Amino acid sequence: MLLPDRIGKVLLISVASAAVAGLAGCKSGGNTNNVGVTLNGAGSALVYPAMSRWAEIYGAIRPDVKINYKSAGSSVGVQQVTSGAVDFAASDYSLDDKTLATVKPMLQIPETAGMVCITYNLPGLTRPLQLSADAVAGIFLGKITNWQDRMLKKDNPGVALPKMKIAVAYRTDDSGMTAALTAYLSAVSEEWRSKVGEGGVVSWPVGVGGKGSDGVTEAVRQSPGSIGYVEFTYAQQNKLQVASVKNLAGKYVVPSAASATAAIAGFSSALGKDPRTPIVNPPASAEAAYPIATLMFLIVPKDGTDVGKRSALKGFVQYVLGDGQAIAGELNYASLPDEVKQYDQQTLNQMTVNGKPIPY
């Protein structure tokens, strides 16, 4: 599998020409002469492994459909779908009201959730690093500068932390991972919120920059004592050391599909009303939740003119929200809770073609 940060790589699923068939027994409503439907998508690198598998399976279910997905980053995907250059986008962050007011109507559909892993290079460390929210904020603010800091010792009792200076590595490119991490830091640190804020690109108080997870990982690997952040799937693929992060329940939690699902569940009621609700720093009731997680969205135009494409796209999204959730779990992404699935289904039902319901 290609690494998620190989920007510009394109997933191309080969298909055979056939009459348009409905997903899971659904019919195409008179669109039977439309063959060779192609859906083009772009966006999130974080969701690339899941998107690859979803597209592959949907192509088998709908052998008339070819799906191209370019892992170009969330901001690129959003720009391309809102300009009409692609049929759908995947994004690590949602569009705000100001942006939505400037583009043609878009539907934002949560598809899964991913996690930001804190990765580090600490030679001789005998067990995985544990970090509290204050420690994470202090490190990235540049206030905690040595691994012998008392706060770090408190987080890691009985562990011989090295006598090394801390070197921070961060991403220079516009990144959903940066947006998620800075949203978390803004939630747990008033100082971070007032001095730095949140977003896909921020002015980091300290550290060295690298492009993509590859750049951050290289910087961390080359410098003992360093710390950075990458997405969970990337960390697994590259066998990186990742820290356990303390949540509001007082538990040090490792990133996993289960702990990301627990993070979503901690906000399930709010998400059922507004899927743009951040899922960082879940409430103490979510004891098993990893605190640095982010929902990922499929962004699709509400209306379109091509009946075949719109039918195929609706079927693809329907698959992702249904059987595709199990695939997400297998790839260590979070499965969506029922409240979010219900919202997603209501949103998906708003898709139209030429202003009319999509034949399905």
Domain boundaries, the chain: 10-113+294-357, 115-293
Nearest residue to 39 via CA among 279, 312, 328, 315: 312
The reply to whether domains 10-113+294-357 and 115-293 share a CATH topology is yes
- What is the radius of gyration, based on Cα positions, of the chain? 21
- The three state secondary structure string of the chain is CCCCCCCCCEEECCCCCCCCCCHHHCCCCCCCCCCCEEEEEEECCCCHHHHHHHHHHHHHHCCCEEEEEEECCHHHHHHHHHHCCCCEEEECCCCCHHHHCCCCCEEEEEEEEEEEEEEECCCCCCCCCEECHHHHHHHHHCCCCECCCHHHHHHCCCCCCCCCECEEEEECCCCHHHHHHHHHHHHHCHHHHHHCCCCCCCCCCCCEEECHHHHHHHHHHHCCCEEEEEEHHHHHHCCCCECEEECCCCCEECCCHHHHHHHHHCCHHHHHHCCCCCCCCCCCCCCCCCCCEEEEEEEEECCCCCHHHHHHHHHHHHHHHCCHHHHHHHCCCCCCCHHHHHHHHHHHCCCEECCEECCC
Look at residue 104 in the predicted model and tell me its pLDDT. 96
CA-wise closest residue to 308 among 64, 90, 68, 83: 64
Please say if the pLDDT value at position 142 is more than 70. Answer: yes
Average the pLDDT over 249-273 and give the result: 93
- Domain 10-113+294-357 matching CATH 3.40.190.10: the answer reads yes
* Average pLDDT in the chain: 89
- What pTM was computed for the model? 0.83
pLDDT for 28:
38
Rounded Cα gap, residues 44 and 72, in angstroms:
7
Tokens 């934002």, residue located: 108
- Of the CA atoms within 13 Å of residue 244, those in its CB half-sphere come to 13
Of all residues in the chain, the percent with pLDDT exceeding 70 is 90
Any idea of the CA torsion for 226, 231, 236, 237, to the nearest 10 degrees? -100
Six-digit token string for 305? 């003119």
* Least confidently predicted of 120-134, 236-250, 265-279: 265-279
| Choice among 13-17, 93-97, 279-283 with the minimum mean pLDDT | 13-17
Mean pLDDT value of segment 155-177: 94
Q: Tell me what pLDDT residue 330 has.
A: 87
Is the pLDDT at 155 greater than 50? The verdict is: yes
| Structure confidence by residue, pLDDT tens digits, 65-100 | 999 999 988 889 999 999 999 999 999 889 989 999
What confidence category does residue 360 fall into, taking pLDDT thresholds of 50, 70 and 90? Answer: low
Tokens of 169: 């590595």
> Quick one: average pLDDT of 247-270?
94
pLDDT at residue number 332: 85
State the average pLDDT over residues 187-205: 97
Ranked by mean pLDDT, which of 250-254, 257-261, 268-272 comes out on top?
250-254
Q: Which of 16-25, 197-206, 242-251, 320-329 shows the lowest per-residue confidence on average (mean pLDDT)?
A: 16-25
Top CATH class of 115-293 equals alpha beta
Name the band, by pLDDT with cuts 50, 70 and 90, for residue 15.
very low
